[in-house]
Amino acid sequence: MTSIDVREADGGVVLAPSGRLTVVTAPELRTTVAERITAGDKIIVVDLSGTEFVDSSGLGALVSCLKSARQAGGDLRLVAPTEQVAMVLRMTNLDRILQPRASVADALHG
């Protein structure tokens, strides 16, 4: 199960999905990001410190959300992946286009 905590921040918005990001929960992430882009947020920070598991469906949602954010003139940035998430990002070479930032502050203003 996943729930996504949404925090307004200076410079953007911070989304923190907790639990697993799989085919079950990826649609919720896509919807939440789409809503924030429509609301005018440019920098979407995905705080992965509470995301204990991601699979190809979760990664697909992150790539899709990254493209949507960039098309809207913004960006999507990852922060604090857990060990499992970092492993899957490396296995898929997605750490090249979704290179995690050191902190939420870095992600918002870097």
Q: Which is nearer to other proteins, 3 or 56 (by Cβ)?
A: 56
Query: Which of 24, 34, 72, 105: binder of other proteins (CB under 8 A)?
Result: 24
Longest C-alpha distance within the chain, in Å?
Answer: 34
Residue 12 C-beta: closest distance to other proteins, Å: 22
Residue 105 C-beta: closest distance to other proteins, Å: 26
**Ranges assigned E (strand) in the chain:** 2-9, 12-21, 43-47, 51-54, 75-79
CB 61 within 8 A of CB 22: no
Residue 77 C-beta: closest distance to other proteins, Å: 15
